Structure 1
Amino acid sequence: FLYRTAVRQAKHSQHKKSRAWDTVHQVNTALNVHTAIYRRCRKAMIALGASSVLLQRYQELKEKHLQSKTIEIDPSVTGTRGENLLWFWTMNADLQAGNWMSEFLRVKFHRAKANIDRCTEEVALLKMEMRWTANFFQHHSDKWRRFAAEAE
């Protein structure tokens, strides 16, 4: 996200580009520090005999979890309909009402609702089309039977 909004935007100025890269490196350093703290805390929880419920809530943080995706930055981007947020983005969803998390969940809900509506409509249309097709064939069957009866 920082690369797209800061580094890429500063392509004509070496000074701005250097500052943008400094910001990227600062964020990366902070991420590494917080990741190490989280992992140490989780390891301590295990050593202290934390319950499985607590360990399920505070899952192991893997490297693949630390790679950001467009969906976390902008949930309205085309092509992210089937994407889901990682477990840690929704840990405190109830505490984060009114911010970007609630916006993400709102967009996700409306996409799911639209998908259900589309599927429901498709099922209704398919049932009608099948009935129309059967009626069409029945009509032509009756018509050819009449022709056969008249020809005899």
Structure 2
Amino acid sequence: GLGYVTLLELQLRQGQANDCLHELQLILAEKAVIFRTDIRHGSNYHMTTCAWGRVANADAAVQRHAALYCRCRIQMGRLGAGPDILEQYKELSDSDLTISTAVSDPNARGHRDDTLPWIWTMDVPRDMAANDRMSEFYRVNWLRMRALQDRWKEEVQLLKCEQEWTKNFFENKVRFWTGRKVATLAKGQAGPACYAAR
């Protein structure tokens, strides 16, 4: 009876939330492309004005889909969605809906450790099958994240090596100064032996 209808409504809300997130991804990717191609490289006032108009339209569409997603998430909570579902469909914040240089230019200075908002990890296979631009976007960002992971693995290895090198350096200094102390004591020089013992 009613439990079945509630479960069906919850599944419909999840589908609607997925659709909203998919649209947000497409619009934000398109907005990044507009910034990268039309606004930064606009050669005259007319081109730049048209590009800013397209950005304003994209912003309006982002707000519309974000509001719809938030309503879906609230309804999922009211329908008794479990914590696993609500964890998957996180709350949207303004920072999730912004396009930074890290997205529009993956090789920009100072963005090496930037990560993408959580909405870019949702429903990847469908996006890649449906849109070549999204496929390229995921490929580039996957490579960036892989490079970041490789850098951190290398950093861990270097840290372990540096730790060993530091230990070896100080052990070598201990042997050196202990040898100096023994040599100066053998010569009967107490002053240099005290200095070496320090």
RMSD between aligned alpha carbons? 2.5
Query: Could you tell me how far apart the structure 1 residues matched to 2:166 and 2:95 are?
Result: 46
5 Å matches for 1:11-90?
A: 13-90=44-121
5 Å matches for 1:70-149?
A: 70-96=101-127, 98-149=135-186
Shift of 1:140: 2.9
Query: Could you tell me how far apart the structure 1 residues matched to 2:160 and 2:53 are?
Result: 54
Q: TM-score, normalised by structure 1?
A: 0.79
Q: Is 2:41 aligned against 1:9? A: yes
SS in 2 for 1:83: coil
SS in 1 for 2:99: coil
Instruction: After superposition, give the CA deviation of every residue in 1:52-108 in whole Å (9 maximum; x if it has no partner).
Output: 222221122222321222223333333223322212110123445553223312221
Query: Could you tell me how far apart the structure 1 residues matched to 2:163 and 2:76 are?
Result: 54
Kindly indicate which of the two structures has a greater share of residues assigned to helix: 2
Query: Could you tell me how far apart the structure 2 residues matched to 1:151 and 1:52 are?
Result: 78
5+ residue gaps, structure 1, are none
5+ residue gaps, structure 2, are 1-31, 129-134, 190-198
Question: Which of structures 1 and 2 has the larger relative contact order (alpha carbons within 8 angstroms, sep 6+)?
Answer: 2
